[in-house]
Amino acid sequence: MHSPSRPHGPDTTRGTLRRRLLRWLGGLPFLPLGLTAAALPAGAAPLRPTPEDDIGPFYPLDWNGDIDGDLTTLAGATGTTVEGALLRVSGAVRDTAGKPLADAAVEIWQADARGRYRHPGVDPRTRDSAFQGFGRTMTDAQGRYSFLTILPGNYGTRPPHIHFRVAQPGRAEFVTQMYFRGNNREGNGYAPPEREALSVDVTPAKAGAPASATFDIVLAAR
């Protein structure tokens, strides 16, 4: 696991990340986000791994307490309702052969609707006290995961995003960020084509169901 105290601000990692993403984008066609693949037929070209992205400075320091897949309901936050538009984020974790990765831990953390993280470095008086802020779930036998959260607010000059970490015994941890297509503002040092590789479409909310986004993750071989 990455050490939360390690500096990971966008200014210190920008050049390395840009080079890594450019190398990745220069390769073969990749699996489009939102396309959940089955295991590939024999002889088929391997799937392109999802690009890594910076862990950022707000990785949660304490995973005790309420850390489930529903970030919209925080244990102990009575009489308050989470701010922002509800969002269901789901997808599947697979390897480059299309094989589902079962029992992998998937973590997310993000800003609330005010653009504030649930982190000791953020004044709790400035954030939404009803928002869980981060969560963890396990993939099922088909590699699927799901979180109920909200559309994150803008954090500084950065476009809205959700951080992801995937961990499975015997495999190197994977860290990336998910962005929202159509809301890729400038200001964080990444050119739009690079950021587009990690962007998803949001399906609007329908009666009785929140807005939704699919973020499939392809991990490189062990």
Kindly list the catalytic residues: 117, 155, 158, 161, 163
φ and ψ of 164, to 5 deg: -130, 145
- Name the residue among 78, 51, 171, 65 with its Cα closest to residue 118: 65
- Name the residue among 149, 166, 132 with its Cα closest to residue 88: 149
Between the alpha carbon of residue 139 and those of residues 112, 142, 219, the distances in Å are 24, 7, 14
Hunting for tokens 């609707």 — which residue is that? 113
Between the alpha carbon of residue 134 and those of residues 26, 58, 117, 214, the distances in Å are 33, 10, 9, 18
Query: What is the C-alpha separation between 213 and 203, in angstroms, rounded?
Result: 6
Q: How many CA atoms lie within 13 A of 175 on its CB side?
A: 14
Q: Residues 6 or more apart from 79 whose CB is under 8 A from it?
A: none
